[in-house]
Amino acid sequence: MKKIDVNVMGGHWPFRKLYKEGAANMREYYAAEEVEWGLMSSFNSVFFQDAFEGDEDLNEQIRQIGSTRMVMTVNPKIPGWQKDLEYECEHFRICAVKVLPQYHNYGLEDDDFNELLAKLEEKRLPLMLVMRLEDIRNSYLWPVGSLDTDSIRVLVKRTSIPVILLHALVGEVKLLADLLDGKHDFYVDTSGMRGATFPIEELLNSVSEDSILYGTSYPMLSEKASVYIIEKAEIADGVKEKLFYQNAKKLFCL
């Protein structure tokens, strides 16, 4: 079944070797799993003081991969992101903006974040919120926590743009289930949905089939884990197709 992966990563993760990073591996993954489009952001842009320089490198990597749209990473606490956003919209054809408040040390009520949110609303660009990049227990140099669901709830209710929550656990998704009803412009990806035996069936009891997107965090996390939770679920093929492909195609106009 063809797929759109809304959460793939380029560049380098600084704390360990990623065995499957790089354009060739990404192309191989796309071919093996019938990924028609990948939405890619940069590890480097999380850790570089100037995120734009990470995105410039990512743009080169994306050229080598093909079938990939860029997700811009913004740290609104660093001055100058406004002009970078304009540039990346025009030259990199970004399809969303990703933020990592817990890595960049601000909250979703922060004035700088609100300025970014207003700009995204003006441009009608979706916002990707990263719940976590790794399990905090296994952090190396310093522990980085996850976002709290209450602040996400407030954000989703006050913004008019689509919000996509990445790498949320099944339990966290359940806490936000009332907003994942297909009426709010709010979505989750599958990359963190571990820890349940039948995660998709369990979530579809309270979450709309229109609100779940196939996303892997590849090459950081197992892509097969996300494939399996949809593929092996006892749900209609039409629902699987929505989760793997149609929901993302519609949301990102691919």
Return the amino acid letter for 8. V
If binding is defined by CB under 8 A, does position 223 make contact with another protein?
yes
Q: Are 35 and 29 within 8 A, CB to CB?
A: yes
Tokens of 86: 């304009």
Token pair belonging to 104 = 């960049």
Nearest to 101 by CA among 154, 37, 60, 157: 154
Taking the C-alpha atoms of residue 23 and residue 7, their distance in angstroms, rounded to an integer, is 15
User: Which of 42, 130, 37, 123 shows the shortest CA–CA distance to 85?
Assistant: 123
Rounded CA-CA distance 89/125 in Å is 10
Stretch that binds another protein, among 14-22, 38-46, 53-61, 102-110 (CB under 8 A): 14-22
195 binds another protein (CB under 8 A): yes
Query: CB-wise, 122 or 142, nearer to another protein?
Result: 142
Site for another protein in 19-38 (CB under 8 A): 19-20
Are 131 and 167 contacting, i.e. CB atoms less than 8 angstroms apart? yes
Q: Which of 221, 243, 248, 251 binds another protein (CB under 8 A)?
A: 221
In the complex with another protein, the residue whose CB is nearer, 18 or 78, is 18
Site size toward another protein (CB under 8 A) is: 32
Nearer to another protein (CB atom), residue 150 or residue 198: 198
204 binds another protein (CB under 8 A): no
User: Site for another protein (CB under 8 A): which residue of 175, 196, 239, 254?
Assistant: 196
Q: Which stretch binds another protein (CB under 8 A): 78-86, 122-130, 222-230, 243-251?
A: 222-230
Closest separation in Å from C-beta 227 to another protein: 7
Q: Are strands 163-166 and 186-189 parallel, antiparallel or unpaired?
A: parallel
**How far, in Å, CA of 209 to CA of 214, rounded?**
11
Q: Coil, strand, or helix at residue 191?
A: coil
Q: Is 77:112 a contact under the CB 8 Å cutoff?
A: yes
Q: How far is the CB of 132 from another protein (least distance, A)?
A: 10
Q: Which of residues 87, 103, 106, 228 is near another protein by CB under 8 A? A: 228
Amino acid at 177: A
Footprint on residues 121-180 left by another protein (CB under 8 A): 134-140, 143
Q: Closer to another protein at the Cβ: 40 or 72?
A: 40
The correct pick among 18, 204, 235, 254 for binding another protein (CB under 8 A) is: 18
- Listed ranges 12-20, 55-63, 70-78, 206-214: which one lies at the site for another protein (CB under 8 A): 12-20
Nearest to 208 by CA among 243, 170, 182, 175: 182
Site string for another protein, 63-82 (x = CB under 8 A): --------------------
Compute the Cα dihedral for 10, 138, 173, 241 and give only its sign.
Answer: positive
Q: Which residues bind another protein (CB under 8 A)?
A: 16-20, 134-140, 143, 194-199, 218-225, 227-229, 232, 234
